[in-house]
Amino acid sequence: MPIQIKENSWIARIAARKLQSENVAIVIGKTIHLHNVSKEDFLNDKKWVKHEMCHIRQFQKHGFTLFIFKYLWESFRRGYHENKYEAEARMAEND
């Protein structure tokens, strides 16, 4: 499956505001949306790439709509940082 990287994404800009973060990458399906970071800088950060690739695998495993629902429900119940999908992606950073 080809993965796309989109710089200057409005989706990532909204996520950056919500997360109160200057630089953001967010995965939607098979696309990594970037805000305030270049594709080159993102790809040079191996931990960040591994984190986002984990989210791509999560989309593949659960399916597009179901994963979005599960991710949002998990974030609602536990918060962003305690979301089990985020915890799994953080663990993937060190693989």
Q: Identify the pLDDT of residue 1.
A: 66
Q: Using the structure block, give the residue that is written with the tokens 């998990």.
A: 74
Total structural domains in the chain? 1
- Alpha-carbon torsion 17, 20, 21, 26, what sign? negative
Rounded to the nearest angstrom, the gap between the alpha carbon of residue 14 and the centroid of all alpha carbons in its chain is 13
Question: What is the three-class DSSP state of 39?
Answer: helix
Q: For 17-41, how does the pLDDT look when each residue is reduced to its tens digit (9 = 90+)?
A: 999 999 999 999 999 999 999 999 9
Q: How much is the pLDDT for 79?
A: 93
Quick one: DSSP state of residue 33?
E
Say if residues 75 and 18 touch (Cβ distance below 8 Å).
no
Neighbours of 3 (CB within 10 A): 12
Domain extent, residue 43, equals 4-92
